Amino acid sequence: MKYLTEFRNGEIAQRMAREIHAIATRPWKIMEVCGGQTHSIIKNGIDQMLPAGIEMIHGPGCPVCVTPLELIDKALAIAAQPGVIFCSFGDMLRVPGTDADLFQIKGAGGDVRVVYSPLDAVEIAAKNPGRQVVFFGVGFETTAPANAMSVHIAKRRGLKNFSVLMSHVLVPPAIAAILESPGNQVQAFLLAGHVNSVMGYWEYPPIAEKYRIPLVVTGFEPLDLLDGIRRAVIQLEAGRYEVENAYERIVTYDGNQPAQKMLAEVFEVTDRAWRGIGVIPKSGWRLSEGYREFDAAERFHITGIHTEESPLCRAGDVLRGAIKPAECGAFGKECTPRHPLGATMVSSEGACAAYFNYGRFLSAEDLATAGSGLTHA
């Protein structure tokens, strides 16, 4: 596969890892922002290839994980209403609300459908004029253009039965919040390359400057990640703090201009609550005045929601990078992918699920010897 297989070459990966070993003279803590990067790091064992002093801290960039519990409960309440067709990306279905998840709502008779694009939800609305169609629009800047486009098209087509339950979050304010949190240990960031494919990286130089921190736009394949880490370490060792692009085949400085124009028209910046973290000022988008009529939260007026997080769940500490998943007392015990206490154990991009699914509950020695019986032809 072009653009993929050549970035998964084991030999080149080993060479790049050796280079990082040669450059690093001190311990460094580097945060990968995006859950997709966390997934790839753990799946491919990238962290095991790094010098012992270089620690990858897993960031909050999992849209499923940071969607507030209250919004999930709202989604469940809307999806359970008769006549509603509730459309969602697949991995939101298993996220536990206070009492249920979308699978259970579906099992109880709710019309819950997985879509691959919000534009599919618009089509469903057009085909079902007698029913309210709601799209669960969560995500970072990556999914925002398609969500904005869906609302834009629904308005142009005059669809009165389409709305979006929205919780869009933004990377730059989250990075600033992490850097300003007391006890922050992160010394460099791997930026979420797919966010930058939309937004470019023009927003980031002031952050690098203000917090004197290296920011490297990074992709998702093993060689992308190793290159991002390598560049971050070089900057750290040299005392530099710049925005660098290690994902040039996808990301430009300006990003996708038509998409940004659409976002500016449909959305406006708002304060946003992040599950496990709290409210971060100006860290999200909501529908702008001209599109507010498509806001499902306003259309359905769901009230009386009392959320309750599991007292055992430390997803917030995981999302802030304060602890590794296995350091949570409930990890692998009360909390497993089958019985998740928090969203980080549900989403395939969640750090807890990545640790659990790829066997990070085993000791390093167990894993190192696990495949030793393999004979290579």
Interface residue list for other proteins (CB under 8 A): 1, 4, 8-10, 13-14, 36, 42-46, 48-49, 63-64, 89-94, 103, 106, 113-116, 120, 124, 138-140, 142-143, 194, 222, 337-338, 347-349, 356-359, 362, 366-377
Is the CB of residue 204 less than 8 Å from the CB of residue 22? no
Q: How far is the CB of 12 from other proteins (least distance, A)?
A: 10
Q: Which of 252, 313, 250 is nearest to 98 (CA)?
A: 313
Q: How far is the CB of 348 from other proteins (least distance, A)?
A: 6
Put the strands of the sheet holding 132-139 in their side by side order. Answer: 111-114, 84-88, 132-139, 162-169, 278-287, 267-274
Helix and strand counts by DSSP (H, E) for the chain:
17, 11
* Tally of CA atoms within 13 A in the half-sphere of 34 that contains its CB: 22
Paired residues of 273 in beta bridges: 279
Nearer to other proteins, 114 or 179 (CB): 114
Q: Which of 116, 102, 110, 100 is nearest to 150 (CA)?
A: 116
Nearer to other proteins, 120 or 309 (CB): 120
Nearer to other proteins, 197 or 245 (CB): 197
Nearer to other proteins, 78 or 95 (CB): 95
Element of type H or E holding 152: helix 144-156
Distance separating alpha carbons of residues 223 and 239, to the nearest angstrom: 24
Phi, psi for residue 90 in degrees, rounded to 5? -60, -45
Distance separating alpha carbons of residues 23 and 8, to the nearest angstrom: 22
Strand, helix or coil for residue 108? coil
Q: How far is the CB of 304 from other proteins (least distance, A)?
A: 28
Nearer to other proteins, 241 or 356 (CB): 356
Terminal CA-to-CA distance of the chain, rounded, Å?
A: 24
Q: How far is the CB of 91 from other proteins (least distance, A)?
A: 5
Q: How far is the CB of 150 from other proteins (least distance, A)?
A: 14
Distance separating alpha carbons of residues 141 and 87, to the nearest angstrom: 20
Distance separating alpha carbons of residues 324 and 291, to the nearest angstrom: 40
Q: How far is the CB of 35 from other proteins (least distance, A)?
A: 9
Contacts with 56 (C-beta within 8 Å, 6 or more apart), sequence order: 30, 31, 32, 41, 46, 47, 50, 229
Nearer to other proteins, 129 or 205 (CB): 129
Q: How far is the CB of 359 from other proteins (least distance, A)?
A: 3
Q: How far is the CB of 176 from other proteins (least distance, A)?
A: 22
Tokens representing 169 are: 């979050």
**Other beta carbons within 10 Å of 104:** 17
Is the CB of residue 74 less than 8 Å from the CB of residue 99? no
Is the CB of residue 222 less than 8 Å from the CB of residue 46? yes
Q: How far is the CB of 1 from other proteins (least distance, A)?
A: 5
Residue count (the chain): 377
Nearer to other proteins, 33 or 208 (CB): 33
Nearer to other proteins, 27 or 90 (CB): 90
Nearer to other proteins, 237 or 366 (CB): 366
Nearer to other proteins, 36 or 316 (CB): 36
Q: How far is the CB of 47 from other proteins (least distance, A)?
A: 9
